[in-house]
Amino acid sequence: MSVITGVLQEEKERNLSLQSKYRDEIAALPKGSVIVKRKRSGDYYCLQYRSGERVISKYLGKYSAEVQELCDKIEKRKYYENLLRTMRQELKLISKVVK
């Protein structure tokens, strides 16, 4: 049993280090989502995110490379958030088994 316990301890440490890495990545990326607003003169893009109770909307302008880059960064943030959620669930399971 000690071999299995050792492997689970290593997995727990690996999980914690990955969670820390994912949190750092998430903190470096923008939060919110890009919204398309349609007006007579064309489509405009806004970044919307929540700050406390308020919803903040920042004007980005018409579609450009910067808007696409921001969309890519937001997708990357959502990907890391999903990974972090999965890692937390795995940590709960490992913690139950190790006890």
The domain ranges of the chain are 2-98
Q: How confident is the model at residue 41 (pLDDT cuts 50, 70, 90)?
A: confident
Residue whose C-alpha is closest to residue 25's, from 75, 86, 69? 75
**Per-residue confidence band for 6, with pLDDT thresholds at 50, 70 and 90:** confident
Predicted confidence at residue 39, as pLDDT, reads 87
Provide mean pLDDT across the span 2-15. 89
The confidence band for 58, taking pLDDT boundaries of 50, 70 and 90, is very high
Mean pLDDT of 41-61: 93
Q: What is the pLDDT of residue 98?
A: 80
Query: What pLDDT score does 1 carry?
Result: 62
pLDDT of residue 3: 85
Q: State the pTM of this model.
A: 0.83
pLDDT for 40 beyond 90: no
How many angstroms separate the Cα of 49 from the Cα of each of 14, 42, 45, 54, 57? 32, 23, 13, 9, 7
